[in-house]
Chain A
Amino acid sequence: MSLATDSLYLAWRYLRHQRMKTVILVAAIATTSFLPVGLNVLVAKSGEELMARAEATPLLIGARGSALELVLSALYFESDPPPPAHYGEIDRILESGLAEPIPLHVRFRVRDQPIVGTTLEYLDFRGLRVEAGRRMARLGECVVGAEAARILGLAPGDTVVSSPESAFDLGGVYPLELTVVGVLAPAFGPDDNAVFVDIKTAWVIEGIGHGHQDLAKVEAEAAVLAREGDRIIANASVVEFNRITDANRESFHFHGDRSEHPVSAIIAVPHDAKSRVLLMGRYTDPDEPNQIVRPAQSMAELLETVFTVRSYLVAAIGVVAIATLATASLVFMLSFRLRKRETETMVKIGGARASIVAILALEVVVVIAMGLLLAGLLTLLTERFGSGMIRVLLTS
């Protein structure tokens, strides 16, 4: 026991003395071990997470277009917004009695955080729990995901302003001040980065709903062009509110038929397998303006491409690993030859041959062990954080 400890100690002292050589060897072994394993873990974990969310979302309905774009926008809030479908589709699904529809409106952002317009059913569907404050209750209120709250430095009671779609969009969507009423508990998924509002609030940001001065009142007289009986015609200078307060909330109203209002996707939760098949059958008509997508199938197709690329990469890394290990072996052998006089001195001062062999062997073992440990740590970090990076890469 004492022989082993002492040999280990001397091996460790040698490696510490030869810092640069040790660091290079450990790094080389760690990298060659980590790359194939890490890549496998990364792809497998990312695939698992992407598939888990896709499988937890039974069906998605949206306007005809790229199915993958619809899935990535509805599940990860990251891709470009797909072409909008109409809110009336919700009523159509409800009337069919085949599924529970949950609308999603993903178009606007608060800085880099997506604003997700939806209904309370979405929070229940994803199992999102409010950690501080409460859920949104009124127009103009929002609930932020844990990560979004951290990044934007938000807590219940704070306000946040939606970002204009373009710095030069002076006449288009105008920023709306949102009141933060709750922060969600971490869900370790895309919901953590989102700012959730009622879908009606999303429509207000889009300009479909708005609040303005009461045109019948004296204060708005300057904006009135003409009064004809019950008709009042105002010019564009009428003051529109960009903050929803208790005082002006009742002035907010929506234009047009609600069934025509936009949604970017609808999550449909069928009541049973038969309802699922029947609902899918309703969207097979080529004249149907909407499509129905099984997110798991779309993600599986995407991941198949990723897996193909991975196998090529692993093969290439394998060749590099063999070359690296051969080089490391050469370094150890040359090192032992250069240290021949050192080992002879150790024999002369009474060191047993077995102890000297043990010291040299342990130097190799410790370097390999440190390399593998480092590779293991990197693999764990990859498992924890790598899938998020992959998702950003896939969805950006």
Chain B
Amino acid sequence: MRGIIGRERGSRRASRRLAASAIAVALAVACTDVVEDPTPNRVDASGPLSVYVVNYPLEYFTERIGGAHVEAVFPAPRDLDPAFWMPPPETIAAYQEADLIIENGAGYARWMEYASLPRGRRVDTSAGFRDRWIASEGGVSHGHGPEGEHSHVGSAHTTWLDPTLAKEQARAIAHALVSLRPLARADFEAGLGALEADLDALDRRLARALEPFSREPVLFSHPVYQYLARRYSLEGRSLDWEPGEMPDERKWSAFGRSVEKRPARVLFFEGEPHAEVTGRLSAMGIRIIVFEPVGNRPAQGDWLSAMHLNIKRLAAPAAPGAMPSQQVDPQGT
């Protein structure tokens, strides 16, 4: 019997190995159970709030209100109009991770329409005055298929050019910051108070500087001045001329006919126009005033100083090209 047992030792070891493997498999299967991670707490109370914004005015307002409590990020390149910028997916991913996403609203930054952003962290700063949005001009409506006629026309979106609306946008930012950091309420309110005072002063100065232009029709190089025009009673019509570009002859003829029908002596330009444009308009007796909407970072200074520079240009002598370019005091003193 022992001899038989000795010859069969190998077979027994193989049986043991098989049994051990079966038990190991069984244990592995039994232990495969995963507990879902809880939803992470997004707002870290220790560091500054990460606040992503869609244009420079909102970045400026956020920094003024939030101070050291916020890290405002405006990732658009300096040479692009943020209203029509299309951020790459990596930048959208950065927006997704922010504690707060500050929107201008009124259809500004159309890329947000196509982006997946966390709704709960978005703040539409112009939602509070939706009833005062201005419908944009010149849209085309069309119809096709079973759904019938529809239009892709939106709203004018350079809301901050009306300082009273800019104040409401600033308040929306302050409200959102307070809801995330209630303990810093006093700091936020102080920042908001100072900003509101500056915006009130800006409003008064703009009213004084634009008052002479409200007496006769004016021209705008682009449809971006709607809120400025409404606030300060400017009667104007918009062209579609890019700063730095020479319009083709077709545009010049249309412009000539338009001016003949409704004379205007002032053209507000978003940026420095092409030298040839300046010369030709000057020959037509039309004064160019560069009034930058400051949707993106100015070359020098900040949003407020850039707006005061606009005011200084309004007050400059009537000769074309006599536009100040030096840095000015933000208070305009």
Q: Report which A residues bind B (CB closer than 8 A).
A: 6, 9, 12-13, 56, 100, 119-121, 124-127, 129, 134-139, 141, 181, 186-189, 198, 200, 212, 215-216, 223, 230-236, 238, 246, 249-250, 252-253, 255-256, 373, 376-377, 380-381, 383-384
Contacts and interface: CB of A to CB of B under 8 A. Distances in A.
In the A-B complex, list the 5 residue pairs whose CB atoms are closest, starting with the nearest. A234-B144, A137-B92, A232-B142, A127-B37, A198-B116
Given A121-B118, A138-B116, A384-B30, A233 B144 contact: yes
B114 A139 contact: yes
Contacts of B184: none
A253 B114 CA distance: 9
Main secondary structure of the interface of A (DSSP, over half): mixed
A139 B22 CA distance: 49
Given A231-B143, A233-B142, 8 more contacts: A120-B117, A120-B118, A125-B39, A198-B116, A223-B144, A230-B141, A231-B141, A249-B86
B89 interface: yes
Contacts of B110: 250
Interface stretch (B146-154, B162-170, B299-307, B315-323): B146-154
B141 A232 contact: yes
A319 to B, nearest CB: 29
Given A252-B114, A377-B22, A230 B138 contact: yes
Interface in B31-47: 32-34, 36-40, 42
B140 A232 contact: yes
Interface residues of B, number: 44
B29 to A, nearest CB: 5
Contacts of B5: 6, 9
Contacts of A134: 89, 93
A200 B112 CA distance: 11
A231 B22 contact: no
A223 B114 CA distance: 26
Contacts of A238: 144-145
B238 interface: no
A132 B35 CA distance: 20
B282 interface: no
Nearest to B97: A135
Interface string B124-149: 00000000000000111111110101
Nearest to A254: B113
Given A126-B36, A127-B36, A119 B118 contact: yes
B114 A138 contact: yes
Contacts of B113: 200
A154 B269 CA distance: 51
Interface string B2-34: 000100100010010000001000100110111
Contact of A234 (B1, B15, B37, B143): B143
A367 to B, nearest CB: 15
Interface in B67-113: 86, 89, 92-93, 96, 110, 113
A384 B138 CA distance: 63
